[in-house]
A and B are shown apart, each in its own frame.
Chain A
Amino acid sequence: MAGKASKARGAETIDTAATGAAAAHTPSAFLEVRDLKIHFPSDDGLVKSVDGLSFELERGRTLGIVGESGSGKSVTSLGILGLHNRRNAKVSGEIWLDGQELVGATEEQVRRLRGRDMAMIFQDPLSSMHPFYTVGQQIVEAYRIHHDVSKKAARKHAIEMLGRVGIPKPDRRVDDYPHQFSGGMRQRAMIAMALSCDPELLIADEPTTALDVTVQAQILDLIRDLQREFNSAVIMITHDLGVVAELSDDILVMYGGRSVEYGSVEDVFHRPEHPYTWGLLGSMPRLDRDRTERLMPIKGTPPSLINLPPGCAFSPRCAFEGLTDGKATTERPELRESAPGHKVACHLPAERRRQIWAEEIAPKL
């Protein structure tokens, strides 16, 4: 299904780009993702990693995407960057980056944007850097692809970037190999590489998961400072609610490839309305609260992306599924606005949700 459709769409995008005519949809936001679907056919069936995701992001703001493993958060980021394998992934929907549509764009077009306009910080800097080349060579390569400069100038830029991200003695360190760096420094080098072309969109996929807490604090500080300096839009993907609380302006909670809640940090942490978000908050032991006797885990396990439960994907694990008159197991809930800027995909009536949160969930957290 995707082959023909995406080709047709590709042609359309090029047309609009060429003529400069108004497209069918003119996105207002810097990054706009609309009804994004990324499916992978497999021997066992179609894996719906991302299944109808929409969000917007402005320059200078940070969107936190939270979810458990297998919720589709990393696939989303790879999809935006066009890093998924085009042969075995079926992508549909729209991704608009600064007025340019990416889903239908050719590989060549995406490659020109990748690195220059959008860049990514990966989770594991050891496996995402090439062990055979020095850190400097890798930054130089990324820089020279997009800038017509001499090797010498690019190297100077690489040293400058390494210094900027806080690597001591960058002029010497630039000739080191990745294995000679510690975990925290590798992540800094990774950030230097991502920022070397001054991208407007930075995607950080679990940037601190592999790091120790004291180093995590350093890296989060660094990302925050650099974002202020470059005024880039940042997507922060993580399973750690603490990290998003600190860094994000808006939060998207994903479950089973779909977004279940979307709102500002205050909305999601102080007025969460989706039972899954309640579950996440209840599962976390927290330093700033009294040491309660028991945590409140979510029962069951995350669903298989091949056989999502019918209706609401969270319904088998939801404690309030019974209050929806059976709608939760038959009908898929839409992401609807429940308060300005705060969207929730749940069949429970909004007033009921707020009541449950205030009376049953919040006091126990």
Chain B
Amino acid sequence: MTAEAAQDDVLVSVEGVVKYFPIKQGIVFKKEVARVHAVDGVDLKVRRGETLGIVGESGCGKSTLARCVTGLYPVTAGRITYDGEDITGFSRSRMKAFRRDVQMIFQDPYGSLNPRRRVGSIIGDPFAIHNIADGADRKKRVQELMELVGLNPEHYNRFPAEFSGGQRQRIGVARALALKPKLIVCDEPVSALDVSIQAQVINLLKDLQDELGLTYVFIAHDLSVVRHVSDRIAVMYLGKVAELADAPALYEQPRHPYSAALLSAASIADPDEAERAERIILIGDVPSPIDPPSGCRFHPRCPKAQERCVAEEPALVVRDGDAADHLTACHFPVEPGDDLTRAHAGISQESTAPALPEATT
């Protein structure tokens, strides 16, 4: 991919972004009783022309972050700049213009297309909303788009139900491309598809990037897919970035124990390799983002955790011996040759089975 995008040519900059969702209780007076810390202080830069992958388990805040970047959610705190402008302060009309440049592809090709509207009008929607083309011109443009993503333009008048999952995802891609955006945020674009179809859509996204010079933020939980498409990858855990690095560097030498565990847990489609693979089995589940652990959020499950991890939150910085753009948020990063399967934590490892909030009355 266009990995040679200039290092400092930043398209989107996320600075200290925080997004909380209040949990309210009460019948007449809604009182905020707790908050879901969905995104809790994230700094990221997306360079022009690159693909930034975001991986993490469910509930780590990757989708919320994506929606903040596209302006679908207002942020609780922090700044998101697009091309140098702070989008958090955009007026309605400015936001509308911004949304031309930034589009989104959603995960579920069944839920994201209105079943009662024809494909032509779904893909033509962006033209209607932004008053760009209508009548015959719109139809022509829509058919060009359909051809671009590999759909038969003659199917203009069909309903989404007449298409298979992979074709529906192509419709979603065509709609996202309609306004010639610069940035496309793909939120799990292929996880609902079968393997053979998944590969078709991944190839399509790659071809379109080369052809149109797009920038992608690519969110997925499938590590092999993310590695395949991304130039750089951010690993998220409980609303924070645990590690940020070039894709090859991250997969060859993960520094954060969570990245290492995530990579080791991925299944390998080769019986011999699978036999040899050493699993780092983490204890328990991801803790609740309502009440995240103190210090490093990974400490209750981390095989290397020490006292310091409980007390002090690690900063996302370059650790010893890493390249300048390999950032890790860990006090005790994994060293080459470390065997995490045999590592012993200096603190007691507690199970993080979700403690459901006791009924707050």
| A interface residues (Cβ-Cβ under 8 A, vs B) | 68-69, 167-168, 180, 182-185, 212-218, 220-221, 239-243, 245-246, 265-266, 269-270, 279-288, 291, 294-299, 301-302
Further pairs besides A213-B265, A241-B269, A297-B196: 10, Cβ < 8 Å? A168-B284, A213-B57, A213-B262, A245-B271, A246-B274, A286-B224, A286-B269, A291-B228, A294-B206, A297-B199
- Say whether B296 faces chain A, with CB atoms less than 8 Å apart: no
The B contact surface, by secondary structure, is: helix
Chain A residues with CB under 8 Å of B271's CB are: 245-246, 265-266, 269-270
The answer to whether B57 touches A182 (Cβ under 8 A) is no
With A212-B221, A245-B267 given, is the CB distance from A295 to B281 under 8 Å? no
In the complex, what distance in Å separates the CA atom of A218 from the CA atom of B264? 12
Q: Which of B16-24, B79-87, B327-335, B350-358 contacts A (4 or more CB under 8 A)?
A: B350-358
- Interface core residue of B199, B225, B263 (most chain A CB under 10 Å): B199
Question: Smallest CB–CB gap between B163 and chain A, Å?
Answer: 9
| Cβ-based interface call for B124 (8 A) | no
Complex formed: what's the CA distance from A218 to B164 in Å?
A: 33
Given contacts A182-B354, A214-B282, contact A245 B196 (CB under 8 A): no
Most buried by A among B197, B263, B351, B356: B197
Say which residue of B225, B279, B356 sits within 8 Å of A285 (CB atoms).
B225
Q: Which residue of B lies closest to A167 (CB)?
A: B353
Alpha-carbon gap, A183 to B203, bound state (A): 32
In the complex, which residues of chain B have a beta carbon less than 8 angstroms from the beta carbon of A213? 57, 221, 223, 262, 265-267
Is B270 a contact partner of A245 (Cβ separation < 8 A)? yes
CB neighbours of A282 from chain B (8 A): 199
Q: How far is the CA of A218 from the CA of B286 in the complex (A)?
A: 13
B18-67: which residues lie under 8 A (CB-CB) from chain A?
57-58
Q: How far is the CA of A295 from the CA of B265 in the complex (A)?
A: 23
A-B contact count (CB 8 A): 137
Is B285's beta carbon under 8 Å from chain A? Answer: yes
In the complex, the chain B residue whose C-beta lies closest to that of A70 is: B194
Contact of B194 among A69, A180, A214, A270 (CB under 8 A): A69
Contacting pair A287 B195 (CB below 8 A): no
Chain B residues whose CB sits within 8 angstroms of the CB of A183 once the complex forms: 58, 285
Given contacts A284-B224, A302-B194, contact A217 B199 (CB under 8 A): no
B248 neighbours in A (Cβ, 8 Å): 291
Q: How far is the CA of A287 from the CA of B58 in the complex (A)?
A: 21
Residue B200 interfacial (CB < 8 Å): yes
Task: For A67, give the chain B residue with the smallest CB separation.
Answer: B194
Residues of B within 8 A of A168 (CB): 284, 351, 353
Q: Collect the chain B residues with CB atoms within 8 Å of residue A239's CB.
A: 194-195
From A214, A265, A280, B261 is in contact (CB under 8 Å) with A214
Tell me the complex Cα distance, A215–B261, Å: 11
Contact with A along B272-289 (1 / 0, CB 8 A): 011000010110111000
Complex CA–CA separation, A68 to B270 (angstroms): 19
Contacts of A182 on B, CB cut-off 8 Å? 285, 353-354
How many angstroms from the CA of A240 to the CA of B268 in the assembled complex?
10
B121 touches A (CB below 8 Å): no
A296 and B199 contact, CB distance less than 8 A: yes
Q: Which of B225-279 contact A (CB under 8 A)?
A: 225, 227-228, 247-248, 251, 261-271, 273-274, 279
In the complex, are the beta carbons of B285 and A288 less than 8 A apart? no
Top 10 nearest A-B pairs (CB, nearest first) are A242-B267, A297-B199, A285-B228, A283-B199, A212-B57, A217-B265, A295-B199, A298-B196, A241-B269, A68-B194
Given contacts A69-B194, A296-B199, A298-B196, contact A185 B223 (CB under 8 A): no
Q: In chain B between 133 and 187, which residues have their CB closer than 8 angstroms to a CB of chain A?
A: 164, 166-167
Q: How far is the CA of A281 from the CA of B224 in the complex (A)?
A: 13
**Is B198 part of the contact surface with A, judged by Cβ < 8 Å?**
yes
**Which of A217, A218, A301 sits near B197, CB closer than 8 Å?**
A301
CA distance A218 to B223 in the complex (A): 17
B164 cross-chain contacts in A, Cβ below 8 A: 301-302
